[in-house]
Copies of this chain bind each other. A is one copy, B any other.
Amino acid sequence: MRIITISREFGSGGREIGKRLAEALNIAYYDSEIISKIAQEMNLDENYLNNIIEKGIHNFNFHFGNSFNFSYNQTAINVLVTQQKIIKELAQKGDAVFVGRGADVILKDYNPFKIFVYADMDYKIKRCKERDTKDNSLSDKELIKKIKQIDSNRSKVHDLLSNTKWNDCKAYNLCLNTTKMKIETIIPVLANYVERWFNH
C-alpha cells in the first residue's frame, strides 16, 4: 500500500502539491473530505468545525509526566479523536495522499512516505495574497500573525500525537522548500522520487 502524507506550513503550497501529486500517481487524495466526514459523523456544521480546528486545542496544555492543565477544549479533542478514526478508515481503502491532520503520525503503521513542505515567510505571504481574497485584504502584519497562529496549531496537534517535532526534518522522508518554485514543475520529479522510494 502506498500512503503519502504531506505536512505543510500554511501558505507553502503543500495542499497544491498533495493534490497534484495524487493526480500524477493516479491515487486518492484526502484533505477537505476529512472535514466533511467529521462534520457528518459528529453532526456539526462544517464552518463551525473549521473554526474549531483553526482555533486549535488552545486551552489544552498537556505536559507529559509533569502536570496537566484541564482548561482544554473538549470539542476540539473529540474532533481529533473522530479525525483519527476517519483517517484510519480512509487509509484502508488503498493508496492515497493525505494532506495535514497528523496523518503522518496516525498512519505510521503503513510506513508512509512523509513529506514536509515549507517556504520563506515572504513567499508564503505572496502566495496567500494571490490565492485568497480574504488574505489579500489583510495587512502583511496581520497575515504573518495568521500564518504563525495556524502553524502553531498544526505544530501543537502534531506534537501531541508524536515524539518528533512537527517542523523537524528527522520526522520526514523529504522536506521541500517551495520558495520561488513553481509547484507544477516539482510534481513529475516528486512523483518519480516517491515511486522509487516505494519500489526500493
Taking Cβ atoms with an 8 Å cutoff, the residues of A that contact B are 116, 118, 167-170, 172-177, 179-182, 185-186, 189, 192-193, 196-197, 200
Smallest CB–CB gap between A154 and chain B, Å? Answer: 15
Specify which chain B residues have a CB less than 8 angstroms from the CB of A196 in the assembled complex. 181, 185-186, 189
Shortest Cβ-Cβ A-B pairs, 6 listed: A175-B175, A169-B169, A169-B175, A189-B193, A173-B177, A185-B196
Provide the bound-state CA to CA distance between A193 and B170, in Å: 21
27 A-B pairs whose Cβ atoms sit less than 8 Å apart in the complex: A116-B169, A118-B169, A118-B170, A167-B169, A167-B170, A168-B169, A169-B169, A169-B175, A170-B177, A172-B175, A172-B177, A173-B179, A174-B174, A174-B175, A174-B176, A174-B177, A175-B175, A180-B200, A181-B196, A181-B197, A182-B200, A185-B200, A186-B193, A189-B189, A189-B192, A189-B193, A192-B192
Chain B residues positioned under 8 Å from A173 (CB to CB): 177, 179
Number of copies: 2
How far, in angstroms, from A168 to B175 measured CA to CA in the complex?
A: 11
Nearest CB to that of A199 among chain B residues?
A: B185
Residues of B contacting A186 with CB < 8 Å?
Answer: 193, 196
Write out the residue numbers on chain B whose beta carbons fall within 8 Å of the beta carbon of A116: 169, 175
Which chain B residue lies CB-closest to A194? B189
C-alpha spacing A28/B130, complex, angstroms: 39
Closest to A193 in B: B189
CB neighbours of A193 from chain B (8 A):
186, 189, 193
